[in-house]
Amino acid sequence: MFKTVKLKDAVGLVLAHDVTEIRQGEFKGRAFKKGHRVRHKDLCHLQRLGKEHLFVLTLEEGYLHENDAAIAMANAFCGPNVGWEGEPREGKLNLVALVDGLLKVHVGGLTEINMLGDVMCATRHTNTLVKKGEVVAGTRAIPLVIKAADVEAAVAKAKTCGGVLEVKPLRRARVGLVITGNEVFTRLIEDRFEDILRRKTNQLGSQVMGVAFAPDKPGTIASEISGLIAAGADLILTTGGMSVDPDDVTRQGIQQAGGDCQFYGAPVLPGAMFMTAEIDNVPVIGIPACGLYHETTLLDLVLPRILAGERLTRRDIAGMGHGGLCLNCPECRFPHCPFGKSA
């Protein structure tokens, strides 16, 4: 698989060894790495290094160079709104987000690819918010020369799931807030939920279009929800009244407004009394009181997914129990922490 060629005949061939450069008093190190494909513009540099002949790698039929393998795999692994940048380096390519949005990883497909051997793909966690241009994954061939069949198998597995990675843009929602509770409605205490939810929705590119306050009466809560939807809200957030106390009736209010409950109760702390529903395709989220005194709750895991157009099922929520325990760190570092992530 190795042979000696004249320098002028080496263009397009692959170096079988490192080429060292020495500049007296300045530099000693590698000028060209093993596996580098010789380009025409490299010839002058190699001549200055005193090279007239090179050892090059010859590929037998049915084998690929690591860089060619990386390109083939990157093309297959990229789903909607994911691309790759630059040229392969040592058989590795980075995959990047082409838009701002929610990263989705086909974890099952990724695992099957990484079971093949001699190929790999490492990603960020699925359901991570990413910005355009950020690296979301890296792929490479493990050996310098790889069997084409191994690469083809990885490409085939990626194609069966429509690409291993996708970035879903978040829609810009018109958010209606319904803040419940007799103590807030009567101004006995000052509401703090509105500011929190305005900040969180704004950070995701959405805006609050209306705010309503309601006492602990299901009929009034239902009326305020319906009024905001009639005024153009395409996402409703309700606050408080989600526990089992007799005065906690927000869930009944959502149901009276026509809410089709998707789930109530979640294996996530904080956020166990969380609820989602739909009214005529408008998502409705019931946020328990923990949202007032915890910086990060289940809302921060669910809201981006709803804005990405997902309808969460009971199985989706059940799966959040793994990684669903917030440690309530003195200084919150979410999302750069284990909360909401699973291996």
Q: Is the pLDDT of residue 2 over 90?
A: no
DSSP 76-98: HHB-TTEEEEEEEETTEEEEEES
Tell me what the pLDDT averaged over the chain comes to. 93
What is the per-residue pLDDT across 32-45, written as a single tens digit (0 to 9) for each? 887 888 999 999 99
Nearest in space to 54 (alpha carbons), one of 106, 129, 95, 2: 2
Q: Is the dihedral of CA 83, 86, 90, 91 positive or negative?
A: positive
Q: Report yes or no: 93 and 75 within 8 Å, Cβ to Cβ.
A: no
Radius of gyration of the chain (CA): 28
Q: What is the pLDDT of residue 217?
A: 95
Q: Which residues have C-beta within 8 Å of that of residue 335, sequence separation ≥ 6?
A: 128, 129, 300
Q: What's the full length of the chain, in residues?
A: 343
Average the pLDDT over 121-135 and give the result. 98
What are the residue ranges of CATH 3.90.105.10 in the chain? 2-57
What are the residue ranges of CATH 3.40.980.10 in the chain? 174-319
Q: What is the CATH number of domain 174-319?
A: 3.40.980.10
Q: What is the pLDDT of residue 179?
A: 96
What are the residue ranges of CATH 3.90.1170.30 in the chain? 63-168
Q: Cα(266)–Cα(274) distance, rounded to whole angstroms?
A: 6
What is the per-residue pLDDT across 62-101, written as a single tens digit (0 to 9) for each? 999 888 999 999 999 999 999 999 888 777 999 999 999 9
Average the pLDDT over 125-130 and give the result. 97
Q: Is the pLDDT of residue 152 over 80?
A: yes
DSSP 150-208: HHHHHHHHHHHTT-SEEEEPPP--EEEEEEE-HHHHTTSS---HHHHHHHHHHHTT-EE
Q: Is the pLDDT of residue 243 over 90?
A: no
pTM tops 0.85: yes
In this structure, which topology does domain 63-168 adopt according to CATH?
Aldehyde Oxidoreductase; domain 3 (3.90.1170)
Architecture of domain 2-57: Alpha-Beta Complex (3.90)
Query: Is pLDDT larger for residue 237 or for residue 59?
Result: 237
314: three-class secondary structure by DSSP? helix
What is the per-residue pLDDT across 173-228, written as a single tens digit (0 to 9) for each? 999 999 999 999 999 999 999 999 999 999 999 999 999 999 999 999 999 999 99
